[in-house]
Amino acid sequence: MNITDLMTRLGVDESAYASGGLVVDTPIDGSEIGRVAPDSAETVEAKIAGAQDAFLAWRAVPAPRRGELVRRLGEELRAHKHDLGRLVTIESGKILSEGLGEVQEMIDICDFAVGLSRQLYGLTIASERPGHHMRETWHPLGVVGIISAFNFPVAVWSWNAALALICGDPCIWKPSEKTPLTAVAVQALFDKAAAKFGDAPEGLSQIVIGGRDAGEQLVNDRRIALLSATGSTRMGREVGPQLAGRFGRSLLELGGNNAGIVTPSADLDLALRAVCFSAAGTAGQRCTSLRRLFVHEKIYRSLVPKLKKAYASLSVGDPLEDGTLIGPLIDQGSFERMHYALDRAKAQGGQVSGGEHVGEAGYYVRPALAEMESHDGIVLAETFAPILYVFKYSDLDEAIALQNSAAQGLSSCIFTRDVLEAERFLSATGSDCGIANVNIGPSGAEIGGAFGGEKETGGGRESGSDAWKAYMRRQTQTINYSTELPLAQGVKFDV
């Protein structure tokens, strides 16, 4: 874990992480890995003002040229994938292949955004008036604020920033206070890409270091045209109304309580592997982690004991080591919340296996399974840890209804080889989530689709598909190329 070597290769000067009021510990063994200087209200103000100036210049740069900057950013990420991926693992605790995967996701969204920079298509619309035509055009929106969570410390920034930059919007990013070092490193890579690009305006992409106060300053500033906030539903409940109060645009990516259904026709070996990855992988610290599993009564006895066996064999330990599948929880608070939830599950009559503390330093846990009789109480809360609540069901409609009864609506899945069941699950009367999968778990999304969820997950969509439209303003234009002035709807107003 030589941070100095890593940071040097990533182009970060030691002064940026060797002193400062915010101490950064690695969840791997709890040791200190850096100190960064938090922003003050004054420096945040100066950064917002700089971003606003950058907007005035950047919005006039042709979109394909803006794409060239993002292409260069993608090149820097490719060249530094290994170092940045390793830093993600050290700072967030996810296993190395997931740390590298997170950087790959950044590269993928850069590629996507470069192509998109030549495809910000509008519409032409038939006018009802003679000698007129109408069109719909997309213009840059303004400064985009990005608040991110600890568990995807860099990918979430790139989902937003790659799109915002090609759309003509500068970005200000406030990473989680638990993972600021990866943000400092990403900023250094962006600066390198911008220097090679040549004429990017000052302040086009900046970071703000701090906690809730710094985030709130972005939320409450009218110059932030769009605030994209990723984190808990608690955070969204605070941020959403504040943004609405100033008519600011929000893109909320909040908590999930994701479910899976295993039907009698499912390929059980495939389902077992998918459940292990999505429920126990990343130590249950993905917004899309599988938290509730509905297993049909006919296959319950063949699947659940195997699942328990597989759980007991998962290797828990140092996420930098080859062969480790489950790294640590992010901190003590997370560990305590996991054990509170397991106690509640037991008090509700649940049969719990796993959940033990593993090792000495750091908060390592064995993933837990809780076989539950009733779908209520603690089951309805998102506990950001590897706990899978398992239920027996007899009727698919009943299982879908229980799945949908959670307050959150992020991701969902069904394991089946019956096309009627699969299509039922994907239909308008099936899963009510933003993401619905067949024969894969609920986690591990690709950048090509719009990512996000309904209900208490916040309703935002980012990344692929037409998510770019959130970062632009739509203008409806009507052009009269005649010498007459006919009014719409046949209205007469002769002067």
Which residues carry out catalysis? 253, 287
CB of 5 to ligand NAD, least distance (A): 27
Candidates 101-109, 171-179, 201-209, 314-322: pick the segment binding ligand NAD (CB under 6 A): 171-179
Query: β-strand 450-451 against 462-463: which pairing, if any?
Result: antiparallel
Q: Which is nearer to ligand NAD, 228 or 263 (CB)?
A: 228
Contact pattern from residue 363 through residue 402 relative to ligand NAD, giving x for each residue in contact according to CB under 6 A and a dash for the rest = -------------------x-x------------------
Query: β-strand 224-230 against 143-147: which pairing, if any?
Result: parallel
CB of 156 to ligand NAD, least distance (A): 6
Q: Which is nearer to ligand NAD, 168 or 452 (CB)?
A: 452
Give residues 193-212 in contact with ligand NAD (rule: CB under 6 A): 211-212
Q: Which of 67, 255, 284, 354 binds ligand NAD (CB under 6 A)?
A: 255
Secondary structure E strands in 286-375: 290-296, 351-353, 357-358, 364-365, 368-371
Q: Which is nearer to ligand NAD, 156 or 167 (CB)?
A: 156
What's 316's DSSP letter?
B
Separation between Cα atoms, residue 318 and residue 93, nearest integer Å = 8
Q: Which is nearer to ligand NAD, 168 or 409 (CB)?
A: 409
Candidates 28-36, 165-173, 230-238, 440-448: pick the segment binding ligand NAD (CB under 6 A): 230-238
Q: Which is nearer to ligand NAD, 212 or 308 (CB)?
A: 212
Separation between Cα atoms, residue 334 and residue 385, nearest integer Å = 7
Separation between Cα atoms, residue 229 and residue 251, nearest integer Å = 6
Give the other-Cβ count within 10 Å of 449's Cβ: 14
Q: Which of 95, 146, 147, 307 binds ligand NAD (CB under 6 A)?
A: 147
Q: Which of 85, 153, 231, 260 binds ligand NAD (CB under 6 A)?
A: 231
Separation between Cα atoms, residue 175 and residue 381, nearest integer Å = 25
CB of 289 to ligand NAD, least distance (A): 8
Q: Which is nearer to ligand NAD, 238 or 267 (CB)?
A: 238
SS3 state of residue 332:
helix
Q: Which of 96, 149, 279, 345 binds ligand NAD (CB under 6 A)?
A: 149
The torsion region of residue 30 among left (phi > 0), alpha (psi -120 to 50) and beta comes to: left
Residue 215 interacts with ligand NAD (CB under 6 A)? yes
Tokens of 134: 């109408």
Q: What is the strand order of the sheet 387-393 is part of?
A: 351-353, 368-371, 387-393, 290-296, 258-262, 411-415, 435-438
CB crowding 391-403: b at 16 or more within 10 Å, else e: bbbeebeebbebb
Residue 39 interacts with ligand NAD (CB under 6 A)? no
Residue 183 interacts with ligand NAD (CB under 6 A)? no
Residues that bind ligand NAD (CB under 6 A): 147-152, 174, 176-177, 211-212, 215-216, 219, 230-232, 235, 238-239, 253-256, 287, 382, 384, 410, 457
